[in-house]
């Protein structure tokens, strides 16, 4: 093929393959235990799989309605109200999406115009900045300070300008495993109450929260809910990230704009899976068991490495655990993550990749959504590192 590249002016010149793909590929090539990318290595529920297959057999194989099937939107609405209080009308305030990533891209595309500023907290999940840039916006990063990674609301106040259009929240937080408190949410609510700032609240790990903590969804705070998009992921909740299913909820005026983009982006998403989820989601146990299920995995992993030289605070949410290796090596986190994948046969994610300035706090992220055996084998390797 002739090299066409010379004539292409990239819209994302600084973007390369995501670190998740890089580390998973390396783990595969090196036959390493893969605690890098955030997905479970155990199966999705057989009941849910049966429901999908039944829906296919029953003929739900053509386009679903643009915003999602009504019965699924109805049960999503009931779930949000029962957990967080706010009522989202299924007709006008909820849209089913192809995972959270599509919801996030669609929200940003619908809302962000040339030179609008979007405040994000770094380390930040990797899809926010490219989505903002592609839409002509400017991401303004506020650093969460290690080792606690809390939000400095004074810094947020000082960063807000008349160009600030959006603030992106993520709680429970990937990659640090921290969760926002009620006071954090109240601080945000009062900071933006007299502005036109809207909030994109990425809550994909809403059900993965530990030690008796409660998830502080924007839907618990009327002053935030009225100006926010709430984003959720069935992939994260029901152990099937490969299905790419999620949803977005928000007040009707915001949702109307969201759907204008959604209908020309994907139009509608997987019909048989929507049918299956509309049944499976009715049983609250299916998501209420998750804190206990994942906390056991976190504790198994942390207990197994308690005598290692790594320094850590138990993750409060998500299925990620940060381990600080400053006692073990001065090496750059990216180089070390690659080296340990090749030499120790254990893959992780370097945290510097979640900052545009590649800040290296000597921390690696390990995913504990893995079978107990995988976690114990991973821990055994970590214990050997001196
Ligand atoms: C914070 C956060 N938001 C969004 C996503 C994307 O979710 P989905 O797979 O549903 O697109 C992820 C996936 O890792 C994530 O960690």
Tokens of 114: 């040339």
Q: Which atom of ligand 1 is nearest to the CA of 318?
A: 16
Which pLDDT score is estimated for 17? 86
Is the model's pLDDT at 138 over the cut of 80?
yes
Residues 6+ apart with CB under 8 A from 57: none
- Condensed to tens digits (0 to 9), the pLDDT of residues 71-109 reads 999 999 999 999 999 999 999 999 999 999 999 999 999
- Tokens 């254990």 locate to 346
Please give the mean pLDDT across all residues of the chain: 96
Predicted local distance difference test score (pLDDT) of residue 261: 98
CA of 31 to the centre of ligand 1 (A): 25
Question: pLDDT for 221-273, tens place per residue?
Answer: 999 999 999 999 999 999 999 999 999 999 999 999 999 999 999 999 999 99
Return d(Cα 337, Cα 334) in angstroms, integer. Answer: 5
Q: How far is the CA of 99 from the centre of ligand 1 (A)?
A: 7
Nearest atom within ligand 1 for CA of residue 233:
10
The binding-site residues of ligand 1, defined as CB within 6 angstroms of any ligand atom, are: 38, 99-101, 125, 170, 174, 202, 204, 233, 235, 241, 244, 246
Residue 308, Ramachandran bin (φ over 0: left; ψ between -120 and 50: alpha; else beta) = beta
Return the ligand 1 atom nearest residue 241 CA.
9
Summarize pLDDT for 118-134 with one digit per residue, the tens.
999 999 999 999 999 99
pLDDT digits (tens, 9 = 90+) for 338-350: 999 999 999 999 9
Contact present, 118 and 138 (Cβ < 8 Å):
yes
Q: Is the pLDDT of residue 9 over 90?
A: no
Q: Which of 172, 125, 38, 23 is nearest to 356 (CA)?
A: 125
For residue 214, report the distance from its CA to the centre of ligand 1, in Å.
20
Could you tell me the pLDDT band of residue 37, with boundaries at 50, 70 and 90? confident
Cα 246 to middle of ligand 1, angstroms: 9
CA angle 232, 237, 239 (to 5 degrees): 135
Instruction: Indicate which residue's Cα is closest to atom 14 of ligand 1.
Output: 38
Q: How would residue 149 be classed by pLDDT, with cut points 50, 70 and 90?
A: very high
What average pLDDT score do residues 169-191 get? Answer: 98
Pocket test for ligand 1, best of 105, 174, 175, 176 (most atoms within 8 A of CB): 174
Among 101, 121, 179, 320, which residue has the most ligand 1 atoms within 8 Å of its CB, making it the best to mutate?
A: 101
- Ligand 1: distance of its center to the CA of 1 in Å? 35
- What pLDDT score was predicted for residue 6? 66
Residue 112 is predicted with a pLDDT of 98
Distance 362 CA to ligand 1 centre (A): 24
Distance 125 CA to ligand 1 centre (A): 8
- Helix, strand, or coil (residue 217): coil
Q: What is the pLDDT of residue 18?
A: 87
User: What torsion, rounded to 10 degrees, do the Cα atoms 51, 53, 58, 59 define?
Assistant: 130
CA of 141 to the centre of ligand 1 (A): 19
The ligand 1 atom at the shortest distance from the C-alpha of residue 101 is 11
User: Which two three-digit tokens encode residue 70?
Assistant: 């009504």
Q: How many CB atoms lie within 10 A of CB 145?
A: 11
Please check the confidence at residue 5 and state whether its pLDDT lies above 70: no
Give me the mean pLDDT over the 37-49 stretch: 92
Atom in ligand 1 nearest the alpha carbon of residue 103 = 11
Closest CA to ligand 1's atom 16? 174
The whole-number pLDDT of residue 7 equals: 74
């Amino acid at each position: 093929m002739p090299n066409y590249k010379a004539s292409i002016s990239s819209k994302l010149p600084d973007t390369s393959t995501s670190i998740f793909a890089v580390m998973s590929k390396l783990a595969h090539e090196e036959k390493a235990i893969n605690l890098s990318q955030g997905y479970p290595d155990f199966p999705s529920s057989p009941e849910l799989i049966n429901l999908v297959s039944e829906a296919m057999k029953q003929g739900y194989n053509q386009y679903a309605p643009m915003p999602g099937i009504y019965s699924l939107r109805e049960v999503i609405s009931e779930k949000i109200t029962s957990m967080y209080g706010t009522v989202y009308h299924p007709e006008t305030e909820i849209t089913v999406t192809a995972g959270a990533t599509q919801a996030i891209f669609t929200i940003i595309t619908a809302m962000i115009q040339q030179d609008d500023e979007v405040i994000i907290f770094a380390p930040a999940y990797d899809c926010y900045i490219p989505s903002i840039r592609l839409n002509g916006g400017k991401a303004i990063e506020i650093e969460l300070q290690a080792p606690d990674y809390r939000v400095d609301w004074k810094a947020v106040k000082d960063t807000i300008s008349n160009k600030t259009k959006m603030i992106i929240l993520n709680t429970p937080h990937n990659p640090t495993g921290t969760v926002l408190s009620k006071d954090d949410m109240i601080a945000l609510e009062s900071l933006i109450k007299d502005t036109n700032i809207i909030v994109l609240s990425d809550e994909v790990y809403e059900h993965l929260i530990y030690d008796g903590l409660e998830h502080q969804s924007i839907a618990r705070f009327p002053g935030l809910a009225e100006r926010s998009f709430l984003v959720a992921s069935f992939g994260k909740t029901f152990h099937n990230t490969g299905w790419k299913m999620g949803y977005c909820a928000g007040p009707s005026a915001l949702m109307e704009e969201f759907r204008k983009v959604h209908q020309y982006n994907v139009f509608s998403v997987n019909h048989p899976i929507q049918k299956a989820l509309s049944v499976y989601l009715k049983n609250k146990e299916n998501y209420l068991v998750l804190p206990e299920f994942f906390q056991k995995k976190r504790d198994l992993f942390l207990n197994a490495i308690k005598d290692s030289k790594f320094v850590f605070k138990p993750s409060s949410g998500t299925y990620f655990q940060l381990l600080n290796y400053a006692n073990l090596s001065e090496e750059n986190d990216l180089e070390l993550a690659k080296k340990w994948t090749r030499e120790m046969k254990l893959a992780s994610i370097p945290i510097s990749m979640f900052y545009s300035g590649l800040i290296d706090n000597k921390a690696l992220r390990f995913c504990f959504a893995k079978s107990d055996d995988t976690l114990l084998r991973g821990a055994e390797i970590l214990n050997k590192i001196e």
